[in-house]
Amino acid sequence: MITRRTCLSTLTGAAALATTSRAAAQLKPSPYMIVNGGEHAWVLNDPQFPIRPEVSICPKLPKHEYSAEGILELMNRNGVDKTVIIHVCYYGRDNSYATHCVKTYPDKFAAVGLLVGHRLYAPNDPENPSRLERAIKEQHLVGMRLSPIYDRDVVWLNDPVCYPLWKKAEELGAVFNVFLAPHQLSQLGDMAERFPGVNLVVDHFAMMDITRPDREGIDRILALERFPNVYVRTYLGNTSKERVPCRDMWPYLRKVYDRFGPRRMVFTNFHELLIFKDVIPWLTTEDKEWILGRTALKLYFGRAA
């Protein structure tokens, strides 16, 4: 697995992808807008945005920071126009820093927060719909990340106690990014059908194990294609067993592309931009326009396709 820290060190070290001749070409104006579909952001030693272990849902706390300003630097270096901030687990249900990013740089960032699940608010908390409404209307978030992957043996994603939250999401036009395991994808399908007005983004190929049979992984993702409100956010490194450019994931990526199409795919992470833009041979210019920008603009920035 290629970890986020590995990717960051790759990007910022002496052999950084962004300083190679190939990456230098990225500085040329792109014929289409590029939107990074997902970066975490956090700061250290800032009293306004403290990381509190008692509310964190991460197993470990960070030793380095990855601030909005650091992301902006990488955006400038790689020719990225906008980025979606996926609220990091270090802050738990305190979405203040994600809100800060959007309010400080409204033309650059959109943000998805955390609300329900492991060490967050209980799925059956009756205040969740109101919390979502405040997050959208007052905190300027565009949706929430639901992470049932941390509760693999507990079924709550499609439990009726969550219906009021999903109904409110439909009313608000909120997006739900869903970080889950393959065996939980059927729950997501149930909710996609029940609440067709909620756009759902499957994160990280559902963390499938590519050493297992397809029926236990990619086939379960492909089964969701019949729901037009389901999208796939890639990040090849989370499921790859190889180094960048993660060629062992290309056959699975192709299956998602063939079934969902580029208009329902979102790329994420700076190293993956180079893979999609310059390395994968079978993507057309129009495909790249959607995967690298237009799909995310529609989902997270409210731009018409």
Residue 67 near residue 104 (C-beta atoms within 8 A): no
pLDDT of residue 27: 54
Find the range with the poorest average confidence among 22-26, 33-37, 145-149.
Answer: 22-26
Residue 6: its pLDDT value, please?
Answer: 45
Measuring CA to CA, how many Å separate 276 from each of 85, 89, 207, 289, 295? 20, 27, 20, 10, 14
Give CA 212 to chain center in angstroms: 24
pLDDT average, residue stretch 131-149: 97
Residue 294 belongs to some domain of the structure: yes
**Residue 169 maps to a domain:** yes
What span, in angstroms and rounded, lies between the C-alpha atoms of 158 and 276?
33
Indicate the pLDDT class of residue 279, thresholds 50, 70 and 90. very high
Give the separation between CA 157 and CA 178, rounded to whole angstroms.
Answer: 10
Tell me: the pLDDT tens digits for 164-215?
999 999 999 999 999 999 999 999 999 999 999 999 999 999 999 999 999 9
Q: Report whether pLDDT(21) > 90.
A: no
At CA 229, angle to CA 228 and CA 233, rounded to 5? 105
Name the percent of the chain lying above pLDDT 90. Answer: 87
What is the rounded average pLDDT of the residues 35-50? 97
Cβ pair 28, 282 in contact under 8 A: no
- Least confident residue range of 74-78, 239-243, 299-303: 299-303
Residue 26 belongs to a domain: no
Residue 22's pLDDT band (cuts 50, 70, 90): very low
Return the exposure string of 185-214: e unless at least 16 CB atoms fall within 10 Å of the residue's CB, then b: bebbbebbeebeebbbbbbbbbebeeeeee
pLDDT at site 273: 94
Q: What are phi and psi of 75, to 5 degrees?
A: -60, -45
Determine the straight-line distance between the first and last CA of the chain, rounded to whole angstroms: 33
Beta strand extents in the chain (DSSP E only): 35-39, 82-86, 109-114, 143-146, 175-178, 199-203, 230-233, 265-266
Give the per-residue pLDDT at 303. Answer: 61
Per-residue pLDDT tens for 103-122?
Answer: 999 999 999 999 999 999 99
How far apart, in whole angstroms, are the C-alpha atoms of residue 159 and residue 103?
A: 34
Q: What is the CATH number of the domain that holds 164?
A: 3.20.20.140
Residue 22 within a domain: no
- Region 19-25: what's the mean pLDDT? 40
Q: Is residue 134 domain-resident?
A: yes
| Residue 27 domain flag | no
pLDDT in tens, 54-109: 999 998 999 999 999 999 999 999 999 999 999 999 999 999 999 999 999 999 99
Minimal CA–CA distance to 205: which of 179, 176, 175? 179
pTM equals 0.91
SS3 53: coil
What domain range includes position 73? Answer: 4-11+33-300
- Per DSSP, helices labelled H in 138-180 are 163-172
pLDDT of 3 > 70? The answer is no
Among 3-12, 51-60, 208-217, the minimum mean pLDDT is found in 3-12
Domain count within the chain: 1
- What pLDDT band is residue 271 in, cutting at 50, 70 and 90? confident
**Within a domain: 23:** no
Tens-digit pLDDT profile for residues 242-255: 999 999 999 999 99
235-250 burial, b at 16+ Cβ within 10 Å, e below that, comes to bbbbbbeeebbbeebb
What mean pLDDT, rounded, does the chain reach? Answer: 91
* Cα-based distances in Å from 178 to 136, 187, 302: 17, 11, 19
| Percent helix, strand and coil across the chain, each to the nearest 5 | 45, 15, 40
Does residue 20 lie in a domain region?
Answer: no
Q: Omega into 182 within 30° of 0, i.e. cis?
A: no
